[in-house]
Structure 1
Amino acid sequence: MKRTYGLRFAVVVSVLSGSLMLFGAAGARQPRTSFQTSREWRPELHLPADIAIVYGTNPGLIETWKSRGFMPFAMFSASWLSRDAEIVKKNPGIVQMMAGGQPFEMIPGRAWVSPTEPWREYMKSLADAHIEAGARAILPEEPEYFASTGYEDAFKKEWRKFYGEPWRGPYTTPASVFKANRLKASLFEEFYRDLCGHVKEKAPDVLCIVPMHSNLNYAQWGIVSPHHAISALDAVDGFVGQVWTGTARGMQKVGGKIESDVFSYALLEYNYFENLTAGTGKSLILLADPVDDREGDSWAKLRDWHEDTLAAALMQMRAAYYEVVPWPERVFLSTDKYGAAGGSAIPQEHASALMTMWSAQRAMPGGGRYAGGTTVIGALTADTLMWQKGAGSDRLAGHLAPMLSLARAGVNMKVVPAERMAEPGYMPPGIRLLIASFDAWKPEDSDIVDGIASWVKKGGILFLTGGEDAFNNIDSAWWKKVGYDTPTDALLEKLLPGVTSAKKVVLSGAPGPDGKPASKEVKLTAAPQAPANISYLGDLTALAPAVLYNAAAAGADVWMTVDGQPAVWAAGCGEGVLVYSGVPGEFVAEKKSGEDFLAAILEAALARGGKNSFIATDIHQVSRGPFLIVHSLRGSHKLKGSFIDAMKPYQPVTDETVVEEGGNAILLDVVDASMDWCNLEASACVVFAGGNVSGARSAPDSYEFLLSGPEGVYGAAWVVMIASQNPPSKAFYKLPGGEEMLIDIGKGWHGLTGVQHLIAPLHPDGTLVRLEF
């Protein structure tokens, strides 16, 4: 059986219909991995990747990477530049301003701008210069309009054009906050329509790709950006999903505890991008970063966080392209940013692990199978999540907590862009139950509500929560125009007509004794006909406001009550099921009993809908071809099989892998990989390596190959002996211009699979590795 080894392909690229079409024909390698840098090529940065994304305003750097065999892309910021840049100094009216006339400067020395003229023309000139220098793609990154800004002259002018009325300060009312952030999103939508359209006019075969953070992260950081609107632009070819330690490490409140959970949050962020792009023809590149913008953390902590994000990225089975590192200069050249007091260079074994992890990303096949819990649950989010950042209450915690609680429980959790529900028949595959709440975000258009209702009536299970929020009261909103107080009312009436006829909102509990103010809590009591698992919960103290509807009169089954009135209930809707909870998602954020409540309601909802029971596990596992990606949530887990762990470069093949609690593994099945990737008529084959493998030559008594990568880093290789099941007698390496050196291979042999593990220094021009039999 002959198949070409996944790390020894040549590049074949074709640009068809505005999308990057990548082919892996026999003898050809897809350009799967990339990195971004603001430096010219140098031997310490010669990474085992396909694409060099040259960052900044100097197109002259492109040739230094192109001449070394990298496909050149060009990236620059869509929203900021040095405050001393000529375009900024000549046009102070475009600088994003906060109340009081203070320029926004999250990072000292940078000016964030309103993406209006003349900024757009400047961006076009920058794109032109990079295209002329040979860039195969233009990546204007991070469209970021901050919620605290909107006081600059350019924005005031655009307000008058967009709304046909005088500008209003963004923080006066929830309605003005919503309108201001809607306009900010619209300006970046038009920015990309203009810029990417220009790129296509100038060079139709050059890609226009948008690198940006997830809408969950941007909402948490108070940034407005139009993810879905950008994805709908014909001239945009795809996204880089920018997720890393910095976006995923934030403290989140779940079950009353404020904690950081990098893996779970990254899992949600990456999955948002997967579902934003799947089926659209847009490419998706997922980013992970071995370090962080915040300096001072130990290399050990940085490695743990990076492995968390990388495992989460590889669990997105419809993604196959990766940005393995932004700023490799921070990783391989700096000695004062990370590590012990005063800083230190990256440990050698850690650097070697990056080589093998990046090789795993490069070789990772598309598709796969989730091998963890069997329940697939989706949760809706929308870009209007960012429109509600400003005046009024911040409902983000109640939005995030249910998703995080379920991801931590081992549920196969999916984050669904609500805007796509307006597409006929849209729903990511496998989702049995969908969670929705219009508290932290609002459906921008009634088509979204129509799509949700249609999905339920065709057999879906919807768990809808909350419904009371200050941003409901926007006179110009579509639900007001059609006669509803809230978008929740509009959806409920489509599913269960008449249910909103006697609505009551309980804003607080009963007043306390001795004149104490009323509690902001309400008591949930199980109804006599409630499912057993809900009755088992007993009385719960939940958070107000509680929204109570005339559910019993509408034919619903009441599960829990507040003050004797239906608060949690279920009803059949066509072929599907609606389960409604009148308490907000903040209940899950603030109380452990909120997590118990969520799990019980979802279990009962699945049972009501005739689906499999709610099943959670202690481990997330995804198999993709010969790879198994693992994250342990609770306890240690033993996995049997002859595996290479790409996260442990100095470890030979093992027959049992233990993944400790909170740990990760990227496991390669040696037998499957050898059968798929090796020429079984050769004397030996590199089945996996940390570095580029080329120039393999096989003889009856020897086998040699070139192993290349950044200077100063050691690469690991696992070589399967095909002609003989005996270990090699000796192994050597030879650097370009150097002498042949003996490799210690004494402890690297795995007899069951006939695989020899070895380590050798890397070199951009290739280190010759030779094994004698």
Structure 2
Amino acid sequence: MNRTAKARPEWTGFQESRPYGPKYDLRTDFVMVYGISDDLPERIEGWKKAGYTIHLMTGVSWGEYQDYLYGRFDGRDHWDEAQKDREGNHLLHGKDVPYMVPTNSFTDYLAVKIKRAIDCGVEAIHLEEPEFWAQAGYSEAFKREWLNYYGEEWIPPHSSPDAQYRASRLKAAMYGRALDRLCSRMKEYALAEHGRTVRFYVPTHSLINYTQWRIVSPEALLVTMPSCDGFIAQVWTGTARTPNVYQGVRRERTFETAYLEYGIMQELTRGTGREMWFLHDPVEDNPRHTWSDYRKNYRSTVVASLLHPHVRQYEVCPWPRRVFEGSYPAENGQGKETIPADYATVLLTVMNVLRDMHRHEEEGADGASYTSGIGLCLANSAMYQRGDVIAQGKDEWEPFKYDGTATTDALTDGQRELLDWSRFYGMALPLVKSGIPLRPIQLDNLVPFPGYLDGYRVLLLSYEFMKPEHPGIHHALGQWVREGGVLVYVGDGSDPFHNVREWWNRGSGNRAYERPEQHLFESLGLGRDPAEGEYRVGEGGVIVLPLDLAALSRSAEGARQVRDVVRRALALRGEGGDFKPANALKIRRGPYLIVHVLDETEEETPRPVKLNGTFVDLFKAGLPVLRTVTLKPGEDALLYDLERGRKDGGPCVVASSSRIRDERQDAGRIAFVSEAPSGVNVSTRIFVPQPPRRATAGSADAKLSYDPASGTALVRYPGAPEGVEVTLEW
């Protein structure tokens, strides 16, 4: 549901800081012109002439804001507002580009910048990546904010779990305040000065990624903010390839991590009325990988996102110029090479499939036996428990900055485990690896959005890596349990953050609790410290499992314990037979079949998956028609099922690496306009009633082939962003 009316649909878009270029004109619905530089009006005009709805994107925690830092904005130097770690080092995104403390002064500065964009006529504004590093909190500006917020002198965040938790909670609140002020003030400005509504969105990494990378952001705080219209889920290879541990093996698991990341972002806005776009990146920020690496991981992230059917809008590419004009290491290790022609074609095919996805509902998948309705709770407060991790240096203990790529050789096992965030993945990965479509649940949404848990049968919960920020969460959980849900609580009470100054321990007498789960159990009628076991509560139940969460990630036995407790939870509901592991995650969305075959399964030799039918392989440049598709463990597929997709037996476009418009059929022919970036080889597969005799693209003949068994023709021709008239005759 869109909270603000739009002039036209915005199913797909991309962001780009460069002026218009025909080689990276992706023909989406909108473009996010990046950055508020002096040439903003010219850049907007170039993209507008190409037919785009114009959005603006700019960094809200970092950017080219040197005029503010060096006093040219208001006559005062503002380096005291740059984020700083305990050693006194500024945290930088680039030279003279620090991550900022979002003070009121900095918000006022951003407002002046954003007014300029509104004056230029943009229809929506994206305030990107409100990020405050967990290891920061030592600048003079932050110390002032601490005093104003808590009414006491600043305490070094690293000095105790309580100080770390409170510092991070303040960081999230500050960025929530900054975005609320910016969005509400700028909406008022647009109406007062220009008589039009401007929408505001927040592109943000997932809560899962921010927590593992030890970054604090508002996340769920923004969902209840009236002036925020939605989000972009910034999930891509660079976040999803962050290593984690499963059955004692630490490695990259791009598909599984992306699946969980997209899942928490879907659940962030599901049922809230806010919009969500899922992002994909055909490359990533790290330029040291090869095209084959980028391609494999891109497939995994696309498939992972499509397995979450409640989101139907996509940012198909950040920075398309670096994709279609950039150079990356050659496969033979000799120099660099630009994008392979077939990969460029595939990318455009996928981007246009994504634009079509909103027309199709989830239909399940043939042969799939899913254990649905299983959730794993996650809250904003997980970010608050992620302070400095210190490695033993030669002479002293030093802060260790971890972004998912650094070596962890110098760390102890406990420090490495913390960085890997095994307390979360120890519960999540065993289910995903078993083909259970687990959904991470945004715990913070339970209070403001009644009915948020509708459709869930079993919830996994632990306060060993996060905390409930409001006691009302327990009342909502209690109602859900009494109405038939089964809650599995896992944790041994060892987390030092149980002792932070929060609502559960600030009462007096019997109103004070040592740990937050004690309040939960008591509200469920189980006493404060129920023993391990199963308990009936109303129509539902509770299972208490006092285990070390991180230990669940270290062995096959730990993974088995997670699967077994979910099986027990379903049995408590009388649905024990519904626990049905699978060796693949797959879904149908209209004619599209999306599949990932799992590796690291319980089977000694993971089985491939064989699909029979008549499919178009959308991950291949030539859009081949296949009768059998065999996928090995770890492989992904995006297929168009021709047996489901044909419209009344008449001619129509099946799939294309171009945007198709003005499609029309006459006696003996089909014609349409095809739009694609220049320099891309376009493939278009078409249903035809008879063998075709000729295809043209503009004034030239197009390459034509025919598959009589499927009744489809493949037409290939050069792309043109302004559009080329394609005609197929039979």
Per the normalisation by structure 1, the TM-score is: 0.83
* Closer/same/farther in 2, CA of residues 313 and 705 from structure 1, 3 Å limit: same
Question: Is residue 355 of structure 1 aligned with residue 322 of structure 2?
Answer: no
The 8 Å contact of residues 420 and 426 in structure 1, kept in 2 or not, is answered as: no
* CA spacing shift, 1:764–1:408, aligned 2, 3 Å: same
Deviations 1:64-95 (A, max 9, x none): 11111011110000101247444456311110
The SS at the match of 2:512 is coil
Q: Tell me how far apart the structure 2 counterparts of residues 71 and 453 of structure 1 sit (CA, whole Å).
A: 46
* Shift in alpha-carbon separation, 1:309–1:767, aligned structure 2, 3 A: same
Larger CA deviation: 145-154 vs 640-649:
640-649
Over 3 Å counting, the alpha-carbon distance change for 1:688 and 1:424 in structure 2 is: closer
C-alpha displacement of 1:584: 2.0
Contact 2:68 2:109 in 1 (8 A): no
Are 1:177 and 2:164 counterparts? Answer: yes
1:430 match: 455
The aligned residue for residue 629 of structure 1 is 594
Amino acid at match of 2:593: L
Deviations along 1:334-384, whole A, 9 cap, x unmatched? 124675542211111100000110111000135314434421210000010
- The question of whether the paired residues in 1 share the 8 Å contact of 2:272 and 2:449 is answered with no
Q: In the alignment, which residue of structure 1 is the partner of 2:644?
A: 672
Task: State the alpha-carbon separation in 1 of the partners of residues 621 and 645 from structure 2.
Answer: 17
Show the counterpart of 1:557.
Answer: none
- Whether the 8 Å contact between 1:63 and 1:134 is mirrored in structure 2 is no
| Aligned 8 A contact 1:643 1:655 in 2 | yes
Instruction: Determine the structure 2 residue equivalent to 1:717.
Output: 684
Q: 1:507-522, aligned counterparts within 5 Å?
A: none
Equivalent-residue separation in structure 2 for 1:672 and 1:249 (angstroms): 34
Judge conservation of contact 2:378–2:440 (CA < 8 Å) in 1: yes
In 2, Cα distance between equivalents of 1:497 and 1:55: 54
| AA partner of residue 597 (structure 2) | S
**Counterpart-to-counterpart distance in 2, 1:700 and 1:615:** 51
Range moving further from structure 2, 448-457 or 272-281 = 448-457
Which SS does the other structure have where 2:327 is aligned? Answer: coil
Q: Is the 8 A contact 1:398 1:586 kept in 2?
A: yes
CA contact (8 A) 2:32 2:56 kept: yes
Report the RMSD for the aligned CA atoms in angstroms: 2.1
Q: In the aligned structure 2, how far is the partner of 1:453 from the partner of 1:587?
A: 28
| Alpha-carbon shift at residue 254 of structure 1 (Å) | 1.5
Instruction: State the alpha-carbon separation in 1 of the partners of residues 160 and 637 from structure 2.
Output: 49
* 1:293 correspondence with 2:285: yes
Verify: 1:214 aligned to 2:203, yes or no. no
Which one-letter code corresponds to 1:342 in the other structure? Answer: G
The equivalent of 2:566 in structure 1 is 602
Q: Deviations over 1:16-41 (max 9, x none)?
A: 7x43568xxxxxx7321000000111
- Tell me how far apart the structure 2 counterparts of residues 498 and 694 of structure 1 sit (CA, whole Å): 64
Tell me which residue corresponds to 1:471.
497
Counterpart contact for 1:296–1:338, Cα < 8 Å: no
The answer to whether the 8 A contact 2:262-2:278 is kept is yes
Q: Where does the alignment leave 5 or more consecutive residues of structure 2 unmatched?
A: 72-76, 192-196, 390-414, 599-605
> Is 1:378 aligned to residue 403 of structure 2?
no
Cα distance change of structure 1 residues 108 and 222 upon mapping to structure 2, 3 Å threshold: farther
Q: Give the TM-score of the pair, scaled to structure 2.
A: 0.88
Corresponding residue SS for 2:157: coil
Q: CA deviation at 1:494?
A: 1.8
- Matched residue type, 1:327: W
Residue 143 of structure 1 contacts residue 225 of structure 1 at CA under 8 Å; is this kept in 2?
Answer: yes
Distance 2:477 2:645 in 1: 43
Residue of structure 2 aligned with 1:652, choices 611, 624, 627: 624
2:472 to 424, 429, 447: 447
Deviation per residue, 1:461-486 (Å, 9 max, x gap): 11101132101112344344231100
In the alignment, the residues of structure 1 paired with residue 584 and residue 154 of structure 2 have an alpha-carbon distance, to the nearest angstrom, of 52
Change (3 A) 1:180 1:55: same
C-alpha separation in 2, matches of 1:366 and 1:344? 38
The yes-or-no answer on 1:620 pairing with 2:617 is no
Match for 2:521: what amino acid? L
In structure 2, the residue corresponding to 1:266 is in which secondary structure? helix
> 1:76 corresponds to which letter in structure 2?
T
* Alpha-carbon distance in 1 for matches of 2:563, 2:15: 42
Judged with a 3 Å threshold, the aligned counterparts in structure 2 of structure 1 residues 649 and 317 are, in CA distance, closer, same or farther, namely same
1:313-349 Cα offsets, whole Å, 9 max, x none, are 1111110100000000110011246755422111111
Q: Distance in 2 between matches of 1:768 and 1:296?
A: 39
**Alpha carbons 2:676, 2:723 under 8 Å: kept:** yes
Alignment partner of 1:611 out of 564, 575, 579? 575
- 2:393 equivalent in structure 1: none
Corresponding residue SS for 1:203 = helix
State the distance in 2 between where 1:664 and 1:83 align. Answer: 42
Contact 1:19 1:282 (8 Å CA) reproduced: no
Pick one of 526, 543, 555 that aligns with 1:591. Answer: 555
Write out per-residue CA displacement over residues 574-620 of structure 1, whole angstroms, 9 at most, x where no aligned residue.
11111111112112112221011111222122112212432110111
Measured in 2, the distance between the counterparts of 1:250 and 1:625 equals 32
Distance across 1 between alignment mates of 2:388 and 2:27: 48
> 1:387 — aligned with what?
384
SS of corresponding position for 1:675:
coil
712-721 vs 467-476, which moves further = 467-476
Match of 2:412 in 1: none
The SS at the match of 1:102 is coil
Q: Does 1:691 align with 2:676?
A: no
Matched residue SS, 1:103: coil
2:140 is aligned with 1:140: no
CA-CA distance at 1:771 after TM superposition: 2.5
Q: Distance in 1 between matches of 2:702 and 2:432?
A: 48
Contact kept, 8 Å, 1:653 with 1:757, in 2: the verdict is no
Deviation at 1:285, TM superposition (A): 0.6
Q: Is the Cα–Cα contact under 8 Å of residues 88 and 94 in structure 1 kept in the other structure?
A: no
**Equivalent residue letter for 2:629:** T
Cα pair 1:267 1:313 within 8 Å, conserved: yes
Residue aligned with 1:76, SS: strand
1:459 correspondence with 2:438 = no
For residues 185-237 of structure 1, what are the alpha-carbon distances to aligned partners after superposition, in whole Å with 9 as ceiling and x for unaligned? Answer: 10011011101101221225211000000111001111001111111100000
From 515, 528, 534, give the equivalent of 1:570: 534
Q: How does 1:271-282 map to 2 (within 5 A)?
A: 271-282=263-274
Give the letter for the 2:672 counterpart: F
Provide the C-alpha distance between the structure 1 equivalents of 2:125 and 2:230, rounded to a whole number of angstroms. Answer: 11
Aligned: 1:55 with 2:34: yes
Residue 15 of structure 2 corresponds to 36
* 3-state SS of 2:188 partner: helix
Q: Tell me, in whole angstroms, the C-alpha distance in 2 between the residues paired with 1:152 and 1:767.
A: 57
Contact 2:607 2:632 in 1 (8 A): yes
Is 1:639–1:657's contact at 8 Å kept on the other side of the alignment? yes
Alpha-carbon contact 1:652-1:749 (below 8 Å) kept: no
The residue aligned with 1:525 is none
SS in 2 for 1:118: helix
Q: Which residue of 1 aligns with 2:711?
A: 754
Distance in 1 (CA, whole Å) between partners of 2:299 and 2:116 is: 37
Give the aligned residue type for 1:138.
I
Distance 1:30 1:628 in 2: 25
Picking from 499, 509, 512, the partner of 1:483 is 512
Amino acid at match of 2:673: L
Cα distance, 1:763 vs structure 2: 0.8
Q: CA deviation at 1:695?
A: 4.0
Q: How does 1:163-242 map to 2 (within 5 A)?
A: 163-203=150-190, 205-242=197-234
Return the alpha-carbon distance in structure 2 between the equivalents of residues 663 and 37 of structure 1. 31
Secondary structure of 1:305's match? helix
SS of equivalent residue, structure 1 residue 344: strand
1:659 offset after TM fit, Å?
2.6
For 1:88 and 1:256, locate their aligned partners in 2 and report how far apart those are by CA, in whole Å.
49
Q: 1:574 to 1:20 in 2, by over 3 A?
A: same
Instruction: Please name the residue that 2:523 is paired with.
Output: 494
703-712 or 276-285: bigger deviation: 703-712
